[in-house]
Amino acid sequence: MKKTENMPKHVGIIMDGNGRWAEERGKPRSFGHQVGATTLKELLHYIYDQGIQYVSLYAFSTENFGRDKKEVDFLMNLFVTLFKKELKSLKDLGVKVVFSGRHEPLSDTVWNAMEDLAATTKDGENGILNICLNYGGRYEIVDMTKKVVQKVLDGTLKLEEIDDKVIEDNLYQKLPPLDFVIRTSGEMRISNFMIYQAAYAEFYFPTTYFPDFKGKDFDEAILAFQNRDRRFGKNTKKKPNS
């Protein structure tokens, strides 16, 4: 199904419910992540085929390092496999992959796989996939603040020049604001995901666990988005500053 009007430009996905999906089937949580990864691969192709240009994924939060070491290790290995093999197909779609998050304490193996995928896809012009890995929205604001303050101290930026554009230019990635955030599994929280960029996003919380979230579920999400009345704090549908 190809829809052209009133599509979100930037969609964020919080891929939640992998663990519960597996546990309900009497399987280890890692199985849920594995199936979630397959779902993700198919879903990304489906989404970019709709003409959506920007997708941000919440792959692993800074807080997720507090999980069982076994689960963390499994996820890190899964990311490496995906970045080295599966997601390389994004290059054929013309999708450029970028990452948001902190370096420490990611291993060299994970970091190198991230850098390699970013380099392989760097010339993609049809879309951007922003993968938030070892990511926290508050840390992103902390790291942005340090960059901006450093520029003021260096004398390359004046205090009175700091505005929302400067803030946006110093976040991890230069991306348009999020229009639409989907969090699967019925949880209704943002959980520190791109909190600055989601200021005027519409939210959608399907009860489906992520491994079961397929193209038809995405279509339903888009229909819900298209029925929202986005006012950006005004009483008209005009976008801010437009």
Residues 193 and 12 sit within 8 Å (Cβ to Cβ): yes
Give the nearer residue to ligand FPP in terms of CB position, either 148 or 221.
221
Give the nearer residue to ligand FPP in terms of CB position, either 6 or 207.
207
Check residue 37 for interaction with ligand FPP (CB under 6 A). Answer: yes
Check residue 190 for interaction with ligand FPP (CB under 6 A). Answer: no
Q: Which of 8, 10, 13, 17 binds ligand FPP (CB under 6 A)?
A: 17
Apex 82 CA angle, 1 and 109, nearest 5: 155
CA 35 → CA 19, 41, 136, 171, 241, distances in Å? 10, 10, 24, 31, 42
Q: Which of 15, 55, 97, 222 binds ligand FPP (CB under 6 A)?
A: 15
CA 132 → CA 29, 61, 184, distances in Å? 21, 7, 16
Q: Which of 13, 43, 52, 59 binds ligand FPP (CB under 6 A)?
A: 59
Report residue 228 CA to chain centroid gap: 21
Active site residues: 16, 64
| Interaction site with ligand FPP (CB under 6 A) | 15-20, 33, 36-37, 40, 57, 59-60, 64, 75, 78-79, 82, 131, 185, 210
